[in-house]
Amino acid sequence: MLIVTGEDTTAPHQVRVFLVDDHALFRTGVRAELAAAEQVEVIGEAGSVAEAVAGIAHFKPEVVLLDVHMPDGGGAEVLRQVRGQQPDVVFLALSVSDAAEDVIAVIRGGARGYVTKTISGRELADAIVRVRAGDAVFSPRLAGFVLDAFSEGPNSAPVGDPELDLLTPREREVLRLLARGYAYKEIASELFISVKTVETHVSSVLRKTQLSNRYELSRWASDRRLV
Amino acid sequence: MDPVRDQLNQQRAAEVDTGPGAATKPMAQQRPRSVEQLRRRRSGRLVAGVASGVAEHLGVPVLWVRGGFAVLAVCGGAGILAYSLLWVFVPQSVGAEKPVTTRERQQGFGVILLCLGAMVAVGGLISMPAWLGAPLVVVLIGAAVVWREADESQRRRWRQGARTNVVGALLGGGGRKAMIRVLAGAALVIAGIVAVLMGSTSMDEVRFALLAVGATLVGVAVLTVPWWVRLVRDLDIERASRIRSQERAEIAAHLHDSVLQTLALIQKQAESEREVRRLARGQERELRNWLYGPDGYGSQRQAVDDAPAATFSAELTRICGEVEDSFAIKVQQVVVGDCDVDERLTAQLAAAREAVVNAAKHARVAEVSVYAEVEAAQVSVFVRDRGAGFDPASVPADRHGLADSIRGRMQRHGGKVKVRTSPGEGTEVQMEMPRAA
């Protein structure tokens, strides 16, 4: 994973985390992994979309770990129902899925990052702290998905606002290094910019992914026989 | 009717005879026939297998039975009636049957021909109006042809065909020959009926008869509408549930072949952590590909018959999987874009494989990441690890892996290789290959 926290990010308080996954076994595993990390505290969990919506409203967590694949609409549906009422809650997608359109749907729904389920407990805790602080957290695979979605192929002419739909060369560069498995700090030294700038670039990529029009992504997905 | 009753009596007698004490007939000893039902033969039959079935049931030579039917047939057609009734009511056998000799077949045909000749001769004596008799014979022959074609195995295929498609139902899976036979039979029937109608002197009677028949048919159709609807709906439901159960069976079979077997292996090798990791990783990769891959189970099902051309991403995935399996490390791979593989890209894939193998062997890490990007002008592959790294200047001159397998291979095809490494910092091999115009 790419999150290597060099500086001491020990927050004064523990980040309150809510866990949404339809597999009880996996929730138990994540709870056990996160119990070792002192920066985060799991305050509740849910196994379905309805439970998640009610649980998030009740516990008011800071970060929601959100499974992408669930019955009744999955993570995207949870985002749709919760985002309007509780805009302060930050979502981090935690998925085993390799299907790009699922993951991108969750990102577009407003998740602040995406990590895979093979992530270690320490890295997951770091990622939670990071999204709580306002950063976007990408796994190499998601960086690859986004690059693919925005690639300037012959059949992906920009539609709508080109300012919004296209990535700048620098953002593309950052994404490419992310996909190559570089940590934020390594990207910063590679591109001779500060870690803060890298984070800014990644966040703007995330914003563009959320804002770029649906048409383009759905066409991209159907080009690849994904939907 | 008498012959039929005789036949049935014979049957009953045979069944009684073959009770526990009846060992008089030589063939009765061969199998416990007390529970055996009369069955028509499926193989080696001449018309419908009735005669040979009866012969087998009674334990007498088939020639006798055929002769009996022939004699009865000449006696006012009773044999034909008996044969037809047995054909309709006696089920076809399902098990294995002993083969029929050529001599039996020849004798059988001879008997049939003799019987026909005798019937014509006898029929000539019994004066029947020719305009009625000849077409009726034609109708009977046609119906027999169709019925023979639609015999049990055929009808079973029809039933199955009706669940799959209409054409299959009509052809019955028998192909052109079956279709020709059915059409010929139907043509004979129609020709016979037309001949009867044409030959009729009073057209009024015919018209009345036709009206009556038509009204009856319409009435029957209307009365049975709910039944037809239910039949169609049942077929639909049955088809849907069959598809579902097939899907379930397929998933179960896949899970059995892959996941369960791997879990069993893991249980057996629980003490070898390395082996467990290797098995689990290989299984995860396979299942993931099955679920989410381009032609995987979860995506839209692709036609299987068009063989998938080897694409760059698929090949790279395969290579990474191979290295994962043989070196028990994790290879995280991300591919952006895709294209078909040509000679240059084959070289690049081989070089990439060598780079991953190098990392697996020397870097002493558990994970290697591979990133590939297909662009309009070139294809780039990056293989990196966070492992030991090395000092390029201190590599002994006799080590050829990097020089030959990676750099040489890429340069021969017009590509470029860049290596970034230093001790403790990990290694990244960058390979760029221009795409053929």
- pLDDT tens figures, B388-431: 877 777 766 666 667 777 888 888 888 888 888 888 788 889 99
CB contact under 8 A, A97 and B292: yes
- Chain B contacts of A179, Cβ < 8 Å? 334, 336, 371, 373
Q: Is B299 on the interface with A (CB under 8 A)?
A: yes
Residues whose CB is less than 8 angstroms from the CB of residue B271 and which lie 6 or more positions away in sequence, other chains included: none
pLDDT of residue A213: 52
CB contact under 8 A, B428 and A97: no
pLDDT of residue B186: 77
CB contact under 8 A, A180 and B371: yes
The answer to whether B338 touches B311, Cβ cutoff 8 Å, is: yes
Give per-residue pLDDT as tens, B120-131: 766 665 555 565
pLDDT of residue A192: 92
Residues whose CB is less than 8 angstroms from the CB of residue B101 and which lie 6 or more positions away in sequence, other chains included: none
- Place B57 in a pLDDT band, splitting at 50, 70 and 90: confident
CB contact under 8 A, A98 and B288: yes
DSSP secondary structure string for all residues of A66-100: E-S--GGGHHHHHHHHHHTT-TT-EEEEEE----H
The answer to whether B96 touches B31, Cβ cutoff 8 Å, is: no
pLDDT of residue B381: 93
pLDDT of residue B197: 67
- Place B176 in a pLDDT band, splitting at 50, 70 and 90: low
pLDDT of residue B130: 60
| Span B95-109, average pLDDT | 70
- Chain A contacts of B420, Cβ < 8 Å? none
pLDDT of residue B9: 47
Mean confidence (pLDDT) of chain B: 74
**One digit per residue, pLDDT tens: chain A, 227 residues?**
444 444 444 445 788 999 998 888 888 888 888 888 888 889 988 988 888 999 998 988 999 998 888 877 788 888 888 888 888 889 998 887 767 777 777 888 888 888 887 788 888 888 898 888 888 888 888 888 888 877 654 444 444 444 445 778 888 889 889 888 888 888 999 899 998 898 888 888 887 777 665 555 555 555 555 44
Least reliable range by pLDDT among A53-62, B12-21, B322-331: B12-21
In eight-state DSSP terms, residue B404 is I
Q: Please tell me the distance in Å from B373's CA to the nearest CA on chain A.
A: 9
CB contact under 8 A, A140 and B384: no
- Place B380 in a pLDDT band, splitting at 50, 70 and 90: very high
Other Cβ atoms less than 10 A from the Cβ of B264: the count is 10
- Chain A contacts of B334, Cβ < 8 Å? 140-141, 143-144, 179-180
pLDDT of residue B383: 92
ipTM: 0.73
pLDDT of residue B200: 58
- Chain B contacts of A151, Cβ < 8 Å? 336-337
CB contact under 8 A, B292 and A143: no
Q: How far is CA A65 from CA A21, A39, A92, A125, B371, in A?
A: 8, 15, 5, 11, 27
Strand order, beta sheet including A113-116:
A40-46, A15-20, A63-66, A90-95, A113-116, A137-138
pTM for this model (two decimals): 0.55
CB contact under 8 A, B332 and A181: yes
CB contact under 8 A, A225 and B300: yes
Closest-CA residue to A2 (of A131, A196, A179): A179
- Chain A contacts of B294, Cβ < 8 Å? 224-225
Least reliable range by pLDDT among A173-182, B48-57, B87-96, B261-270: B87-96
Q: Please tell me the distance in Å from A4's CA to the nearest CA on chain B.
A: 12
Query: Closest-CA residue in chain B for A142?
Result: B334
